[in-house]
Structure 1
Amino acid sequence: MMRAAILEGPETVRIENATLPVPGPGEVRIRLEGCGVCASNVEPWQGQAWSRFPGDPGGLGHEGWGEIDVVGAGVEGLSPGDRVASLSFRSFADYDVARADMVVRLPDALSGEPFPGEPLGCAFNIFRRSDIGPGQTVAIIGIGFLGAVLTRLASDAGARVIAISRRQESLDLARRYGAAETIPMQDHHAIIDAVKALTGEGMCDRVIEAVGKQWPLDLAGELIGFGGRLVVAGYHQDGPRQVNLQNWNWKGIDVINAHERDPAVQMQGLRAAVDAVAGGRLDPAPLYTHRYTLEQLGEALAATRDKPGHFVKALVMLR
């Protein structure tokens, strides 16, 4: 048996004993050390019209890492004892099962370090899709975990990053991760005027929207310059959106929805993230600001929603 979190109803999580999952052919079982809490967990936790309760044991958890303890038939190149990050989907539990081709072995350089692989891999795929290069002006709207990592990647690529976010501590974080300019996300027209002043009215070559709400998406369309690239990185899961297609069309922009659903592409981003963190090119450790036990998962989800002081990302630690 194992502990597993079950979403019983809106904002109601219970911890119960569940049967250990058994890996099938081509799968591995992971004894989890921890799992990150994703902002996309919040709305299902709060309850949506299409939500179904109770959820699966461990459900919502998709940012797990840990040690393989059992390998299924036909698995090659992985062994019990290997420490890995996985792309699996029931990781708010002591154990999870993943396809062997959806895990990445963590090198010794990451020994003992938390590694929520899914959001890190997501950031690297968004960065690749953004096609950011030296000399570009890049606005990043929303400096949470994803926005901070993208700020570092874009600034290291030689871009001038303008970070836009609500909280002062988020803007301070963006500076630490390489932003050249910061703008409080308070007044729509004031932000547009500030970006005009910073760019000589040319606006931005790239805009990454990393919030997942209507207003930031509207703002992104205003900040992008002619022929630029607007990258939707926020997770828009709470209903339809409207866009100013007249504006987008007039500017002749490219619009990139940077959510990857191809498993091979997801793994490409995860491997790039492992290499970057292990090689010292990216240090995500300061972004893991809050840690919780499995029994405190409800508190972790509330903190992810409410953003208490200096909150960036919550980890649920299982060992």
Structure 2
Amino acid sequence: MAAPDATTMRAAILAAPGEIRFAEVPLPEPGPGQVRIRLEGCGVCASNLEPWAGLEWLTYPGEAGGPGHEGWGIVDAIGAGVRGLALGDRVATLSGRSFAGYDVADAAEVVALPEALAGRPFPGEPLGCAFNIFRRSDIAPGQTVAIIGIGFLGAILTQLASDAGARVIAISRRQSSLDLARRYGAAETIAMDDHWAIIDQVKRLTGDAMCARVIEAVGKQWPLDLAGELVGFGGKLIVAGYHQDGPRQVNMQNWNWKGIDVVNAHERDLAVRLRGVREAVAAVASGRFDPAPLYTHVYPLDRLGDALDDTRDKPDGFVKALVTCG
């Protein structure tokens, strides 16, 4: 970390696959239109795992603070031309170097956090992602919605879909994940252990109609295959899992025959991403949704490697890891 008058800060650097080193690096200075954020913490995302494991198209070492992109903290320096933000404002940021003491972001990439969230962790990027996925899913009362993969995103989507009046069928590997889905409103749960048995069970639960919406939230080939089988005629398959480890194959004959819509729910438009974060801020601040029980594992920055390993290995009860930076 850095004192207010310091010229350096401590930052994590992904030096090589499976190797984190820590270094004192220059304290970043905001340029025009930017703010500097004294980070309180940063969430660990499943998308961090491929760089952690090693991808052939990545170069190492990575930049200081990367690939942390779920940060929140306090604005402590402001560049020229910034309007609407002040020193001391608490914000969530969409910047990508937040495994560090400080990060710099365009002012347009941060969302102010209200007093109702004071002292509470707020990884805005994944929370906003969940709300954007929910909007893209176009869920209506009375629909049957299957959610494949009940982790952080899956649990949030379970509650949002249930609150919208849908009947949620949660499908996941671990019993603790299925128990979590029940707590967040799932009407039915199915162990993700046998492809054809799952299909048969969903047929029984829906009277052969299958599901109006299927959200795939794992990011692997088999869950994507399963999702295509579970969606009903004219339904929607929503790809919420982050598929970054190579090409996928799909059963296009099945998708054509059913006439389904396929939605890739990963947003890249900044305005849409910010909309999701603001919707999450409003929901959490009002008490409509409480993500706190999902923050199951908290680590100091010096244990970032352990946080990444646990995000990969998912020890008992694991849902989401946060790293404290301040």
| Normalised-by-shorter TM-score class | over 0.9
Q: Which residue of 2 aligns with 1:186?
A: 193
Q: Summarize deviations over 1:27-83 as a string: whole Å, max 9, x none.
A: 000000000000000011111111211100001100000000001100011011000
* Pairs within 5 Å for 1:157-236: 157-236=164-243
In the alignment, the residues of structure 2 paired with residue 134 and residue 281 of structure 1 have an alpha-carbon distance, to the nearest angstrom, of 18
Match 2:107 to one of 87, 90, 100: 100
In the alignment, the residues of structure 1 paired with residue 280 and residue 205 of structure 2 have an alpha-carbon distance, to the nearest angstrom, of 31
In the alignment, the residues of structure 2 paired with residue 91 and residue 276 of structure 1 have an alpha-carbon distance, to the nearest angstrom, of 24
Give how far 1:154 is off: 0.3
* Pairs within 5 Å for 1:35-50: 35-50=42-57
SS at match of 2:296: strand
Structure 2: which amino acid aligns with 1:116? P
The alignment status of 1:10 with 2:56, answered yes or no, reads no
The alignment status of 1:147 with 2:154, answered yes or no, reads yes
User: Considering only aligned residues, what root-mean-square deviation do their CA atoms show, in Å?
Assistant: 0.4
Q: Which residue of 2 aligns with 1:312?
A: 319
SS at match of 2:95: coil
* Pairs within 5 Å for 1:19-168: 19-168=26-175
Give how far 1:318 is off: 1.3
* Pairs within 5 Å for 1:292-307: 292-307=299-314
Q: Any gaps of 5 or more consecutive residues in structure 1?
A: none
Q: Which residue of 1 aligns with 2:280?
A: 273
In the alignment, the residues of structure 2 paired with residue 297 and residue 234 of structure 1 have an alpha-carbon distance, to the nearest angstrom, of 23
In the alignment, the residues of structure 1 paired with residue 110 and residue 81 of structure 2 have an alpha-carbon distance, to the nearest angstrom, of 15
In the alignment, the residues of structure 1 paired with residue 138 and residue 43 of structure 2 have an alpha-carbon distance, to the nearest angstrom, of 27
SS at match of 2:218: coil
* Pairs within 5 Å for 1:217-256: 217-256=224-263
Structure 1: which amino acid aligns with 2:195? H
Q: Summarize deviations over 1:195-250 as a string: whole Å, max 9, x none.
A: 00000000000000000000000000000000000000000000000000000000
Structure 2: which amino acid aligns with 1:316? V
The alignment status of 1:259 with 2:266, answered yes or no, reads yes
Give how far 1:101 is off: 1.0
Structure 2: which amino acid aligns with 1:112? G
Structure 1: which amino acid aligns with 2:212? D
What stretches of structure 1 move > 4 A for 4+ residues in a row? none
Give how far 1:153 is off: 0.3
Structure 2: which amino acid aligns with 1:211? V
In the alignment, the residues of structure 2 paired with residue 234 and residue 297 of structure 1 have an alpha-carbon distance, to the nearest angstrom, of 23
In the alignment, the residues of structure 2 paired with residue 225 and residue 108 of structure 1 have an alpha-carbon distance, to the nearest angstrom, of 44
Give how far 1:102 is off: 1.1
Structure 1: which amino acid aligns with 2:304? L
Structure 2: which amino acid aligns with 1:141? I
Q: Summarize deviations over 1:144-193 as a string: whole Å, max 9, x none.
A: 00000000100000000000000000000000000000000000001000
In the alignment, the residues of structure 2 paired with residue 104 and residue 55 of structure 1 have an alpha-carbon distance, to the nearest angstrom, of 26
Q: What is the TM-score with the length of structure 1 in the denominator?
A: 1.00
Q: Summarize deviations over 1:109-150 as a string: whole Å, max 9, x none.
A: 100000000000000000000000100000000000000000
Q: Which residue of 1 aligns with 2:4?
A: none
Structure 2: which amino acid aligns with 1:250? W
Give how far 1:312 is off: 0.2
Length, aligned pairs only: 319
In the alignment, the residues of structure 1 paired with residue 168 and residue 79 of structure 2 have an alpha-carbon distance, to the nearest angstrom, of 46
Match 1:285 to one of 292, 304, 308: 292
Identical amino acids, percent of aligned pairs: 76
SS at match of 1:5: strand
In the alignment, the residues of structure 2 paired with residue 19 and residue 80 of structure 1 have an alpha-carbon distance, to the nearest angstrom, of 21
